[in-house]
Amino acid sequence: MSTYPIYQVDAFTSEVFGGNPAAVMPLTEWLPDEVMQKLAQENNLAETAFIVPEPEGAEQDFHIRWFTPGAEVPLCGHATLASAWVLFNKLDFPRKQVSFRSKSGPLGVSLQDDGWLELDFPNLAFEERPTPALLRDAMPEAGDKVLFVPNDTNYLVLVENEAAVRNANPDLSLLKQLGNQGVIISAPGDVSDFVSRYFVPAVGIDEDPVTGSIHSVLTPFWAEKLGRSKLLAHQLSARGGVLKCELRGERVGIAGQAAFYMEGQVTLSV
């Protein structure tokens, strides 16, 4: 039997029970994929992040992978932010900036002077497509055209105002049949620059509370639309979260706070 440390951190919030909870499991070497998937299913959070130190002299400090209860995903913001919080606050990482190797290329997280953590993420490309019939049936407010994000196979539905985002009630059983990762719905905000929600039933998450990774496409979209590079975003799930976003050419800065919830040990016979 072997024991492994596990931490749970609420990301994109200053208080426990807000934002998006993530489990973080630091490892010395990878567990089998099927075991990591079962751990994510057992944790039953939007994501469980696993981090393994990179070899000495490597370009990044750690290799990071993310699993939902249903699948491994190519990019995750809140669990990356939570992983950095654990490294800075629980594992005595010696610097204020940590870098990760990931399926979406190199990622960074820096600890700001005000205590916020800022993700350095890719600027994700998007393309306009005709709205799939299933998506129109599931979310009638979707227009004839939607944006598609090839990197993580998300659809982006744009609506008129914040109220439309708040009131969205898509048919999750139909969204699950789309064959992609998830659906983002977004609009200009009443107080913030833009707002969003994110539905991901295909990978075991009906609605993700706060999603850093979708701001890799929302930030460049709204930066161009609003004509400025620095933006304040709110994700309007029941738990809710606040993100400070900045477009920096081919990269996007996504900053948030984090609140520590618990730590423990997992015992496995692997």
Cα 53 to Cα 63: distance, rounded to the nearest angstrom: 6
Cα 190 to Cα 111: distance, rounded to the nearest angstrom: 29
Burial of 33 from C-beta contacts in 10 A (0-12 / 13-18 / 19+) = exposed
Nearest one of 48, 26, 4, 9 to 92, comparing CA atoms: 26
Residue 48 token pair: 């469980």
Cα 60 to Cα 3: distance, rounded to the nearest angstrom: 26
Cα 243 to Cα 225: distance, rounded to the nearest angstrom: 18
52: how many CB neighbours lie within 10 A of its CB?
16
DSSP sequence for 185-209: EEEE-SSSSEEEEEEEGGGTEEE-S
Cα 85 to Cα 117: distance, rounded to the nearest angstrom: 8
DSSP state of 226: H
Contact 231, 246 (CB under 8 A): yes
Cα 7 to Cα 214: distance, rounded to the nearest angstrom: 24
Catalytic residue among 15, 29, 34, 47: 47
Mark whether 47 is an active-site residue: yes
Cα 268 to Cα 49: distance, rounded to the nearest angstrom: 17
Catalytic residues: 47
